[in-house]
Amino acid sequence: MIYFDNAATTPVLPEVKNFLCKALDIYGNPSSVHTLGKFARSEIETARKTIANYLKVKPENIIFNSCATEGNNTIIRTILNNKDRGNVVLSAIEHKSVKEAIKFWANKSIEIREIKVNKNGVIDLEHLYHLIDSNTILVCVMYVSNEFGTIQPIQEIAKICSDKGVPLLTDAVQAIGKIPIELKNISYATFSGHKFHAIKGSGFLYISDEANYEPLIVGGGQENGKRSGTENVVGILSLAKALEIIVSNFSRYQEQLKKLRDLFENLLLEALPDAQIVGKDAERSPSISSVIMPKFFGAEIVNKLSEKGIYCSTGSACLSGEYEPNKHMLKMGFSQEKALRMVRFSFGLLNKEEEVIECIERIKEIYRLN
């Protein structure tokens, strides 16, 4: 089995698994005043400090939750709740958890404005500048594209938003553990643990000191009243442990991912010269390679590789037996035909070069090149 779908979710690191076997014994309720509760609370606060140190922010700016989707909904609801006018600006290729949350929480009078992107998936900064006006209440741009690996010029975006006095929300799910993160001038950032080798159901939200905030979940008053519900102690500890491991070897891991991606792309283009790497002319995450494959629909390639025990993904969905093109590629200016042929291969810390070579051999079989 070869797993190249790490942008969807990552396997838990072996070191994290071993750590969590012991963490399962921390079963006290962190809100309890007895010794077991106090110990659980202490472990949570230590994890919060670990994450805050990594992001170079204060521990009180970190709120634990279940995932980035919850974080995105929380912030979008905070900004849009009871607003009867204004506009929200977001990238044309923004994650569905942001787009759908805006549609769900926005009053019908709220205008939604999309920032143009180029063929690499990078937003047009000048267009962003002109879209923001005195009625703009929120800007949303993901740090790294989950589909193409494109890294947005987030600090330039943040500067524009700061200068215009508008809060910026960035979904940083595909950035954490892959590239250095800078949160200066960013109001909100959301993260999911299962995207960086921690466990599912664990995530956190960064909120700047100046940013407005209303809890999505109320009741018990946990997380200083910002996110009620008994804390997922094991999940929270997995976040800190995975980050601790990655940060301690960050340069090596980053180089490891880039080496895998570059080997994959070089071998693939050697075998299939008509293939096209999406976003190749932009700064990209070292872990994602999205390819326009010749001859076959992307979903066909995914299915054929899956039959051979190799797992990747596509931005094209099959509905009622009909394939649909990747909508974000259409926004980027690609033809419908090319948008139907995209396949995403995404690499993680547990992948090896031999797996890349094996994958290319299986792709050659599909194209009968062997």
Cβ 296 vs Cβ 348: under 8 Å = no
Identify residue 157 by its one-letter amino acid code: I
3-state secondary structure the chain: CEECECCCCCCCCHHHHHHHHHHCCCCCCCCCCCHHHHHHHHHHHHHHHHHHHHHCCCHHHEEEECCHHHHHHHHHHHHHCCCCCCEEEEECCCCHHHHHHHHHHCCCCCEEEEECECCCCCECHHHHHHHCCCCEEEEECCCECCCCCEECCHHHHHHHHHHHCCCEEEECCCCCCCCCCCCCCCCEEEEEHHHCCCCCCCEEEEECCCCCCCCCCCCCCCCCCCCCCCCCHHHHHHHHHHHHHHHHCHHHHHHHHHHHHHHHHHHHHHHCCCCEECCCCCCECCCEEEEECCCCCHHHHHHHHHHCCEECECCCCEECCEECCCHHHHHCCCCHHHHHCEEEEECCCCCCHHHHHHHHHHHHHHCCCC
Catalytic-residue membership of 318: yes
Give the whole-angstrom CA distance, residue 94 versus residue 116: 11
Tell me phi and psi for residue 322, to 5 degrees.
-115, 135
Which residue out of 21, 140, 312, 318 is catalytically annotated? 318
Sign of the Cα pseudo-torsion (252, 157, 185, 136, in order): negative
Give the whole-angstrom CA distance, residue 47 versus residue 50: 5
Q: Are strands 136-140 and 87-91 parallel, antiparallel or unpaired?
A: parallel
- Return the active site residues: 318
